[in-house]
Chains A and B, each alone.
Chain A
Amino acid sequence: MATTMITTLDRSSRAAARGLSDISIRNLFIIPTILFLIVFNIFPLIYSLGYSFTDFRASTNAPANFVGLQNYRDLLNDPYVWSNFAITAKYVIISVAGQLFVGFGVAMLLNRDIPLKGFITTLLLLPMMLSMAVVGLFWKLLYDPSWGVINYALGLGNFEWLADPRMALYAVALTDIWMWSPFVMLLSLAGLSAVPKHLYEAAAIDRAGPFYTFFRITLPLVAPILMIAVIFRTMEAFKTFDLAYILTSQPTAELISIRLYKMAFQEWQTGRSCAMAYIVLIMVLAITNIYVKYLNKVKER
């Protein structure tokens, strides 16, 4: 069956001349990838599941003791962990909603014939191409109350973006929105340009207003691709680490991944942090599944 699935090899090609069959070429490409995946992803995943039921600490020689569900119980009873989850949820909602709004808005603006369209699009994509850590360091300087550009430009005086416990999370989300809106914009642009022009023409003939056209034609047709953007961004926002870690150390902005990092690599509570990682994994899987179900529904329409 496999042989019929792939295009057969050109008999005059060099690979064929060396006596390599289709199957061996396929194996040559796939087996290293599968091996890599097993060694670096699947195996640690299963191994860490085992650790999550022990009190193992990688920093000592003490043997790991089986503690059953103790780690999970402790974590789910820890008010700090719950507050980390609440903070993360808030962050995901703010930052993904913001990116969707800004990204889709910019895409709508760009989806027309304007001069230098390609150039503008490229420029708008730049933030996305920077490294997270670099963006974090830059924005830390921009937000600085004493010499930061943002307060200077907005005339906010000594407003403390990152040092104010109530503001810190929004400041991190704002940076994330700046960085990743272009991603949503790019996907939206692709979706928008795929909407058939004749639908708009028909709407114009029927004298449909701009709102009606947007909600009845544009949005439904772009929705599937927007959903993909939302899935990607939600998963990414859920595991945001570098940006928040560099920008602020406010407990009110301590995302779950930062907590996990501290537990695993500063406190070396290996067993417990494995349990935590599994809780996070299950949550991300659940959320993604909801989205995927919804995406399929949207596509069916």
Chain B
Amino acid sequence: MRKIVTSVLAGVGLALACGTSVHAQEKSLTIFWAEWDPANYLQELGNEYEKETGVKITVETTPWSDFQTKAFTEFNAHGDAYDLVVGDSQWLGAGSTGGHYVDLTDFFKKHDLGNVMAPATVKYYSEYPGNSGKYWAIPLEGDAVGWSYRKDWFEDPKEKEAFKAKYGYELDVPKDFKALRDIAEFFYRPDQKKYGIAIYTDNSYDAMAMGFENALFSYGGELGDYSTYQVDGHINSDKAVAALDAYKELYKFTPPGWAKSFFVEDNQAITENLAAMSMNFFAFFPSLINEASNPNAKNTGFFANPPGPNGDQFAALGGQGISVISYSQKQDEAMKFLEWFIKDETQKKWAALGGYTCSAAVLKSPEFQSATPYNKAFYETMFKVKDFWAVPEYAELLQQLNQRIYPYMIGGSGTAKETLDALAADWNATFKKYGRVK
């Protein structure tokens, strides 16, 4: 018996010892984000903060595929494992109405962030509900869907000549969606194992939606009315139908097996010499100008999503804002970090490390725009972006979109009009279920 008592006491002592050692490092913050390069840049930025203030910043990451699940599992359990989260723009509704995020409206007004950050980023990364003047996140990583292309293929004189003979205009960076389609068709040569274009088709999260949105918004279409939640007549309008057909048309010129592709596959299309052009988030472009990860780095160029037939030019928004989690025990420390983060010098450092700053001043500066081959396209894009629904039930809306659009895009069942009519009915039913429309 005495032995048991001693061992129990020893165990308790050990636990206390560990407890106190954790206690000694009280000044630390944990930020949760997905596993990708920008998270590493944020860790480096955090190291700078530690040098200045002594507060240790740890950026904890998880693969993209279970980022959403893991984050919400922690929120739903009211856990304090993370103090801040760099959450997807679609999470704002669920994060704010669910009580997971701290209201940052006062902080926002105090620092005039509505003007410090690019307007589109404030609208989509921070505000919920739309136009309510309530803010839940600070724009951290700006992102949108852009395009990379093979400069060497485009600039080959023989190709240029052949293209002009076939289509009657110069082969160049596509000026509109029609040119995008023509170039994709032109380079589609299965016998040479060369293909025209790489697009997003994965239907497990938001890949398909992001890809389709690039066409939809540039064709002048809309997902719906963000203030009244009216979808009929928007998502199934003639413009939207034309956009879906245009996006499906591009699928014809993709490499074989392109039915579950997202950012990894689309970058591979460039690095493995598969496609002439490839759609991707700007956040994945740094690895394309790095010769270690892209043997064609020197020959890779970038352009913003081209305009549609009526000259509208928009792009699907990616990117994330940083929010304080309401279950964190260190909210004051977290606010101090945010105050440091929004400073101009910090934003400059953030951009220099490879982060996509949302600071309007930094974005407009010539140093930023000439720093990389894609920064200019990024700057152009960030002022014309639109996003998916940010309501708490966004995941259901995404699932319904995937369920309707995927069989049409990949399986070829039905028509674009039927597909989008059905989607409008699904969305309307969902909005009805949550009492947003009558």
Contact = CB atoms under 8 A, between A and B. Distances in A.
Interface stretch (B102-110, B348-356, B390-398): B390-398
B54 interface: no
B94 A252 contact: no
Interface stretch (B131-139, B141-149, B202-210): B202-210
B69 interface: yes
A80 B403 contact: yes
B355 to A, nearest CB: 27
Interface in B325-345: none
B262 to A, nearest CB: 10
Contacts of B202: 249
Interface string A236-258: 00000000010011111000000
Nearest to B395: A267
A28 B190 CA distance: 68
A59 B395 CA distance: 11
Interface string B367-405: 000000000000000000000000011011011000100
Interface stretch (A42-50, A110-118, A158-166, A186-194): A158-166
Contacts of B410: 163, 165, 250
A209 to B, nearest CB: 48
Nearest to B70: A265
From DSSP, what is the main secondary structure of chain A's interface residues? loop
Contacts of B193: 146
Contacts of A265: 69, 72-73
Most chain A C-beta atoms within 10 Å of own C-beta, residue among B72, B204, B257, B395: B257
B87 interface: no
B98 to A, nearest CB: 5
A146 B396 contact: no
Interface in A28-78: 57-61
B392 A165 contact: no
Interface in B24-72: 68-69, 72
B257 A160 contact: yes
Given A146-B274, A249-B203, A162 B259 contact: yes
B226 interface: no
B260 A165 contact: no
A165 B411 contact: yes
B69 A163 contact: no
Contact of A267 (B257, B258, B259, B393): B393
Interface string B178-221: 00000000000010010000000011110000000000000000
Contact of A266 (B97, B256, B399): B399
A197 B61 CA distance: 60
A291 interface: no
Contact of B399 (A146, A161, A162, A267): A267
B110 to A, nearest CB: 27
Contact of B68 (A80, A165, A251, A266): A266
Nearest to B98: A60
Contacts of A161: 257
Contact of A61 (B68, B99, B190): B99
Given A146-B272, A249-B203, A163 B259 contact: yes
Given A60-B98, A165-B407, A266 B190 contact: no
A299 interface: no
Interface string A268-279: 110000000000
B301 interface: no
B203 A268 contact: no
Most chain A C-beta atoms within 10 Å of own C-beta, residue among B68, B97, B203, B395: B395
Nearest to B411: A165
A163 B260 contact: yes
Contacts of B393: 267
A59 B76 contact: yes
A162 B260 contact: yes
A249 B260 contact: yes
A103 interface: no
Given A58-B76, A59-B75, A165-B407, A249 B257 contact: no
A178 B315 CA distance: 44
Nearest to B410: A165
A163 B255 CA distance: 11
Nearest to A259: B399
B407 A146 contact: no
A262 interface: yes
A22 interface: no
B255 A262 contact: no
A268 B257 contact: no
Contacts of A147: 272
B436 to A, nearest CB: 14
A146 B203 contact: no
B406 interface: yes
Contacts of B257: 143-146, 158, 160-163
B399 A158 contact: no
Most chain B C-beta atoms within 10 Å of own C-beta, residue among A245, A249, A251: A249
Given A165-B407, A165-B410, A252-B411, A266 B259 contact: no
Contacts of B392: 57, 59-60
Given A60-B98, A163-B259, A163-B410, 20 more contacts: A59-B75, A59-B94, A60-B392, A61-B99, A144-B257, A146-B255, A146-B272, A162-B257, A163-B256, A163-B257, A163-B260, A165-B407, A165-B410, A249-B259, A250-B260, A251-B406, A251-B407, A251-B411, A265-B69, A269-B396
Closest 8 pairs between A and B when the two form their complex, measured CB to CB: A163-B259, A145-B256, A145-B257, A158-B256, A267-B395, A163-B257, A165-B411, A58-B76
7 contacts: A57-B392, A59-B392, A143-B257, A160-B257, A163-B260, A249-B203, A252-B411
